[in-house]
Amino acid sequence: MSGRYSEHDHEHYERPRRRTRPRTKERPRYDDAQDGVVVTVDRGRFTLVVDGTRVLAMKSRPLGRKGVVVGDRVRVVGDTSGSEGALARIVEVAERETVLRRTADDDDPVERIIVANATQLAVVTALADPEPRPGLIDRALVAAYDAGLQPLLCLTKADLAAPDTLLATYRSLGVPWVVTRRGGDLAELRERLAGRVSVLVGHSGVGKSTLVNALVPEAHRDVGLVNAVTGRGRHTSTSALMLALPGGGFIVDTPGIRSFGLAHVRPEHLIEAFPDLDEMTEDCPRGCTHGADEPECGLDQAVLEGQADPDRVTSFRRLLAARYAAY
């Protein structure tokens, strides 16, 4: 590793950044840096994919306490050979396009970023064994809408129960869905995932691991360099693990995530995910959350006037309430 970066690092990172600033203008200082993406994080060590090679890296000092999370697009210098013992340095983290967050529970003010730059949140739910829990699905949907991710309902074990009842709950929200059965064909799911960065969330027993292994056949041994270094047999951190799909795109498995704390979600922000409903709230009193108990909400007026689908308003309000519901 060369020392020539250290003298530049400080002024480079203390300079305020503007969103619109073209990144290329910053690049010459690290002109031999390579682009990479973070695929897993474990105890301050990062596994990146750089040019198709898995590379172990640490943060460079000038990044300070700036977090680096799975999905981050980074610039990296140093030994990117991926050979044993090689350690590269992350010198820059690109502006994130999306950020999927959670809080450990609703009273926990500490929010954690699960994944950066994802485009879709696939909520994996079994149709039976275990029974679906709409409250949990609602909470995951709220997290998706809040983060600007396209939600996808992935309903497994359709050989045990029909999806109709559950789908009826989400139809008016327009949530896309795909149904799989045990041992069945995954063509439709693959199509939904192709070319996207999809985070898969789901409780134990719903078949998420089975899906991951079917979608990425080498997933079970693709646990990252981190574990080769620490000697641990499997990915045990609560963070996420990003895997490339054979046909393009990525899935992010979230083995340690069992619940979505939503303390970070601002209720008044949720409606922005539903532009047609948002339009009808222009005359709402200041501070209106658009919930069912608001006295003068424009959504009620819109339903009365036949401009809004009552089912859609009810479903939106159910999501809004899920922000506060116990889980």
Instruction: Write out the residues near Zn ion by the rule CB under 5 A.
Output: 281, 284, 288, 290, 297
Q: Which is nearer to Zn ion, 163 or 267 (CB)?
A: 267
Closest approach of Zn ion to the CB of residue 281, in Å: 5
CA distance readout (Å), 159 to 42, 129, 189: 38, 11, 16
Closest approach of Zn ion to the CB of residue 280, in Å: 8
Closest approach of Zn ion to the CB of residue 299, in Å: 6
- In three-state secondary structure terms, 48 is strand
Are the beta carbons of 52 and 80 closer than 8 angstroms? no
Beta-ladder partners of 180: none
Q: Which is nearer to Zn ion, 208 or 290 (CB)?
A: 290
Q: Pick from 271, 321, 268, 263: which is nearest to 292 by CA?
A: 321
Closest approach of Zn ion to the CB of residue 260, in Å: 24
Q: Which is nearer to Zn ion, 226 or 288 (CB)?
A: 288
Q: How far apart are CA 260 and CA 69, in angstroms?
A: 17
Q: Which is nearer to Zn ion, 121 or 319 (CB)?
A: 319
Question: From the CB of residue 239, how many other CB atoms can be counted at a distance below 10 Å?
Answer: 22
Closest approach of Zn ion to the CB of residue 184, in Å: 43
Q: Which is nearer to Zn ion, 147 or 299 (CB)?
A: 299
Q: How far apart are CA 177 and CA 44, in angstroms?
A: 36
Residue recorded with tokens 């949140």: 121
Are the beta carbons of 237 and 39 closer than 8 angstroms? no
Chain centroid to Cα 50, Å, comes to 21
| Structure tokens, 89 | 């340095």
Closest approach of Zn ion to the CB of residue 201, in Å: 29
Q: Which is nearer to Zn ion, 144 or 297 (CB)?
A: 297
Q: What angle do CA 319, 295, 299 make, to 5 degrees?
A: 50
Q: How far apart are CA 153 and CA 1, in angstroms?
A: 46
Are the beta carbons of 197 and 118 closer than 8 angstroms? yes
Q: Which is nearer to Zn ion, 250 or 274 (CB)?
A: 274
Closest approach of Zn ion to the CB of residue 296, in Å: 7
